[in-house]
Structure 1
Amino acid sequence: MTKTPQGPIHGWTATQTLAALRARDIGSEELLDAQLKRIADVGGTVNAVVQLDTQTARDTARAADNGQITGPLTGLPMTVKDCFDATGFTTTAGIPDLEHNRPDRDADAIARLKAAGAVIFGKTNVPLAASDHQTDNPIFGLTRNPWDTDRSAGGSSGGSAAALAAGLTPLEIGSDIGGSIRVPAHYCGVYGHKPSYGIVSARGHVPPGPGALTPPPLSVCGPLARSAADLSLAMDVLSGADDPTVRGWRLHLPHAAPDRIDATRVAVWLDGFPLDPAYRAALSEFVEDLEHAGANVDRLDGPPAPVDPDSDLYFRLLFAVIGSGMSDEDVAAFRDATRDLTDHPHAATIGRALRTSFADMGPLLEGQARQICKWHSFFADYDVLLAPVAMGQAFAHQTGDGYGVTPQMRRTLQVGDTALPYIENLLWPGVATVSHLPATVRPLPRTPNGLPAGIQIIGDLYADRTTLAFAELCDRLWGTAPLAPAFRSIKGEA
């Protein structure tokens, strides 16, 4: 018999909340009211939830309470990232020209959540065009990290992660092309899963532009949550074929690898890209904890064989994708604004990549395919690869210099004693992105510097169940992550 979860409602995981709903210990409308009150009481501190559709959500919650809706998420109030089309809301992606863009159909992923019984009551904030590791845009402003409001909540799913960490929602869906699920999860002390490419439909996601039908290269959609079990639950709902592809294929992900820590083959990679010493020490301490728990750990002396730290393949592909959505005037403006950055290690590469020709894409895609094959060989010897999520923990806000890629080229991040190009925060998450690999982020049990930190659990292509299962095994040993300290009390006082 399932026990009603303890503690305040806003601290329950999605799995716990659903258990309480099924036991009729609480109703969906009661939960919705609790979340809305929570946002009214403390939501302004972080500015994560930026749109509400209260009446539609209330109608759906009442239908769930009356047994008119069934599914694995029946009655669960939740928010979604403001890049997904959802009827009743605008889809802005933080872009002023889309401030009044009101879709007439749901994104495929949103339709799946609704079909599963979810009660979608709000949308969460993003950076302009979902293209930054901090969440700030001219429409809704800056989202702040619940652990330290002077710091970034990450991006581009920063509103998603901040809302979870502050107890404003029990489940979220984000998107990821440059760590946009994983970095916010890491910065805010929550969980996130970047799926294998193509297993969750991205139709109805902006960018690309509203109404686009072509699947965006590299970009994926996936859940953020407060436990690994919640991620698995959401992935069961989100993954699979959608019209029109449903006519031609079905998804059958492999079963998870060993279901015990002491039977799991773990590779650990901490060298090859810049890494803050305090974050590295916390990762190493977690690896030692895994060894004490019986995991078979192999600490790699350098990057795994498929990784070439000097390769610009990821940057060339990423900015070819970004550039395809930019006007000639915007590309010219970027090149003019960065012309003097002759010492920047990536400015010239990015400037060229923004206008990648079709002929140039062929060799890039061939390089990507070869990377994927190399990873498949690597994972013949390991079940998971553990790696950092980013260069360090949440950084202090860097705002006021504009939005988008161009101002990011002049920013730096302090990594240990060294100021490094801001854009290099893409390096650690880019490894899984460029090779289409699944990657799950779970928080470390300890918080170095008083801030959360996560570990990236990478698997072979389509081994999503394995990375998720490993995160669940860790949850059994160390428990799920708490809310940000200032948001743990019932009323949310610090």
Structure 2
Amino acid sequence: MKHLSATTIAHAIQAGELTSTAITEHYLARIEQHNPKLNAFVDIYRHQALSQAKQRDDNANCLGPLHGVPISIKECFLYQGTATTLNYPPLKNYQGSQTSPLVQRLLDAGAVILGKTNVPQLLADSQTFGPLYPTANNPFDITRTPGGSTGGGAAALAADLCALELGSDIGGSIRNPSAYCGLFGLKPTENGHSHDGHVPPLPEHKLGFSVMNCTGPLARAPEDLELAFRVLYPQQQLQLESKPLSGYTFGYFDTLHGLTAGQSVQLGLDQLKQLITAQGATLKPVTIDNQLAAQAMELWAELFGFSIAQNLPWLIRKIFYMKFRPALRDSSLTLIPALKRGLSLDFKHLSRALYRRREVIAELNRSFAACDAVLSPTALGPAFQHNHQHQRIALDGEQIPYMDYCFPFVALFNLSGQPVLTVPTGCDATGLPIGISISAPHHHEGRLLHIGRLLAQNGITFSSPELS
């Protein structure tokens, strides 16, 4: 039963070839065996999951699209009676008094929730560690990060500890973990809102501001992303396109703000370009002006500052800034003034940032106008060694600033709000996965998911790690 897709599991249960109890027990056994080394799950609902699975088996006539499929959810989603701490000590005893509408839709579709997965403190990092939970490890190399902030979920999926993960993304938090763990991940068109049951903000704070944040699925197969998307966002009325790859024009870029992807990512990008051109697709190079890229990065930092600051008292905002100041100073990106403006919670700064954001989005749309979809790196390189001090990261004989390595290529699309599909392109010479991102115009998830299926039919698939 190893590495079955969520779609395959759902079909097998519906056909009577597999029971929810059997597949749930399979995953719980794997969690017991492998989670102590990976720290992918931080809460495991063994008895509750088995009870849910039995209910699914006893109600075989009430078949939702995820009937009996065991999944995981990121720790930041409210699930009544369970911990939502964000790996943040002031919330260490917090339990949700309600369930996120997204989690409820998964349950209503018949899913079995195995547990919650690991996150970095306040979801604010591209690796997964913090004061409350042990460091999450990458199944391909446990000395390396699975990414963040959906790092625990990505590790769980790659290690076959679950069939699907509900994640979120305000700065690459679905896409970097997907790339580092060889998965498919979908950041939809900007869809976060104050009532989606994602923390922050806490529901008790009754805050209505949400910007750049997205919720979305991670999976081992593109058809699972489609399945999850239909369940999570029924109001979107997803329509897949039907063209062959030869009917698409793909843009591509590998440099942003003077930062160029490393050799292994370049090889992954080249592999994807060769595959789609062999299928008859058209390729067009895309250049993003350095000044436009700088504006986009600064606006992302400022709006991220506003997003996180609304939940935090002044002293904690100051501590948060001091934690990341060395990495920000080391970066080639000029982000400190922008982040400080966001953390200030000054309304005029916010209003100006939102105005400028619309201008930048319009300019980016013009840059991509001739393309149906655009290929780009996710991070500059593969998963990096655990790096709690945010030191420079080794890449192709150079030492790359932490912020430069992790964020520019993903933050660009949080700022633009466009949907992005991250796909695996295999492993590099050291055995580490490489993931390439594919963006599309706003509200074209159906195009991305169709492209993902076409790529999978041509060999772009998940490769499993070897676990001891």
**More off after superposition, 304-313 vs 93-102:** 304-313
Structure 1 residues 81-160: aligned runs within 5 Å: 81-160=74-153
Q: Note the C-alpha offset of 1:202.
A: 5.8
Structure 1 residues 70-89: aligned runs within 5 Å: 70-89=63-82
> SS at the partner of 1:152?
coil
Quickly say closer, same or farther: Cα 1:213–1:355, change in 2 above 3 A: closer
> SS at the partner of 2:7?
helix
Quickly say closer, same or farther: Cα 1:307–1:169, change in 2 above 3 A: farther
Q: Note the C-alpha offset of 1:90.
A: 1.1
AA aligned opposite 1:299: P
Q: Note the C-alpha offset of 1:315.
A: 1.5
Tell me, yes or no, if the aligned pair for 1:135 and 1:158 is still in contact at 8 Å: yes
TM-score, with length taken from structure 2:
0.92
User: In 2, distance between residues paired with 1:338 and 1:436?
Assistant: 24
AA aligned opposite 2:228: A
AA aligned opposite 1:289: L
Q: Note the C-alpha offset of 1:209.
A: 2.4
User: In 1, distance between residues paired with 2:329 and 2:33?
Assistant: 49
Structure 2 residue 222 is the aligned partner of structure 1 residue 228: yes
Match of 1:313 in 2: 299
Match of 1:251 in 2: 236
User: In 1, distance between residues paired with 2:158 and 2:330?
Assistant: 38
Q: CA RMSD in A?
A: 2.3
Match of 1:207 in 2: 200
Deviations 1:270-310 (A, max 9, x none): 1224222332233123212221122111123x327995345
Structure 1 residues 9-28: aligned runs within 5 Å: 9-28=1-20
Match of 2:339 in 1: 350
User: In 1, distance between residues paired with 2:315 and 2:23?
Assistant: 48
User: In 2, distance between residues paired with 1:191 and 1:415?
Assistant: 24
**More off after superposition, 471-480 vs 140-149:** 471-480
Q: Note the C-alpha offset of 1:339.
A: 7.6
**More off after superposition, 255-264 vs 26-35:** 255-264
Q: Note the C-alpha offset of 1:479.
A: 4.8
Match of 1:3 in 2: none
Deviations 1:155-175 (A, max 9, x none): 000000000000100100000
TM-score, with length taken from structure 1:
0.87
Structure 1 residues 16-55: aligned runs within 5 Å: 16-55=8-47
Q: Note the C-alpha offset of 1:42.
A: 1.8
How many residue pairs end up in the alignment?
459
Quickly say closer, same or farther: Cα 1:79–1:358, change in 2 above 3 A: same
Match of 2:449 in 1: 468
Match of 1:482 in 2: 463
Q: Note the C-alpha offset of 1:201.
A: 7.7
Tell me, yes or no, if the aligned pair for 1:202 and 1:216 is still in contact at 8 Å: no
Quickly say closer, same or farther: Cα 1:200–1:370, change in 2 above 3 A: same
User: In 1, distance between residues paired with 2:415 and 2:9?
Assistant: 36
Quickly say closer, same or farther: Cα 1:177–1:148, change in 2 above 3 A: same
Quickly say closer, same or farther: Cα 1:342–1:149, change in 2 above 3 A: closer
**More off after superposition, 201-210 vs 475-484:** 201-210
Structure 1 residues 54-453: aligned runs within 5 Å: 54-67=46-59, 69-198=62-191, 203-211=196-204, 212=206, 214=208, 216-240=210-234, 250-253=235-238, 255-273=239-257, 274=259, 275-300=261-286, 302-303=287-288, 307-309=292-294, 311=296, 312-333=298-319, 345-399=334-388, 401=389, 408=390, 411-424=391-404, 425-453=406-434
User: In 2, distance between residues paired with 1:233 and 1:469?
Assistant: 12
Deviations 1:79-103 (A, max 9, x none): 1110011124211111122222221
> SS at the partner of 2:98?
coil
User: In 2, distance between residues paired with 1:74 and 1:342?
Assistant: 49
> SS at the partner of 1:354?
helix
User: In 2, distance between residues paired with 1:114 and 1:282?
Assistant: 36
User: In 2, distance between residues paired with 1:476 and 1:415?
Assistant: 32
AA aligned opposite 2:104: A
AA aligned opposite 1:398: N
Tell me, yes or no, if the aligned pair for 1:153 and 1:394 is still in contact at 8 Å: yes
Tell me, yes or no, if the aligned pair for 1:200 and 1:238 is still in contact at 8 Å: no
AA aligned opposite 2:343: L
> SS at the partner of 1:149?
coil
Tell me, yes or no, if the aligned pair for 1:306 and 1:375 is still in contact at 8 Å: no
Q: Note the C-alpha offset of 1:342.
A: 6.2
> SS at the partner of 2:458?
helix
Tell me, yes or no, if the aligned pair for 1:153 and 1:162 is still in contact at 8 Å: yes
User: In 1, distance between residues paired with 2:253 and 2:344?
Assistant: 33
Deviations 1:329-357 (A, max 9, x none): 13344566778886654334323331141
Q: Note the C-alpha offset of 1:368.
A: 1.6
AA aligned opposite 1:265: T
Quickly say closer, same or farther: Cα 1:24–1:306, change in 2 above 3 A: farther
Extract unaligned runs of 5+ from structure 1: 1-8, 241-249, 402-407, 488-493
Tell me, yes or no, if the aligned pair for 2:422 and 2:435 is still in contact at 8 Å: yes
AA aligned opposite 1:428: F
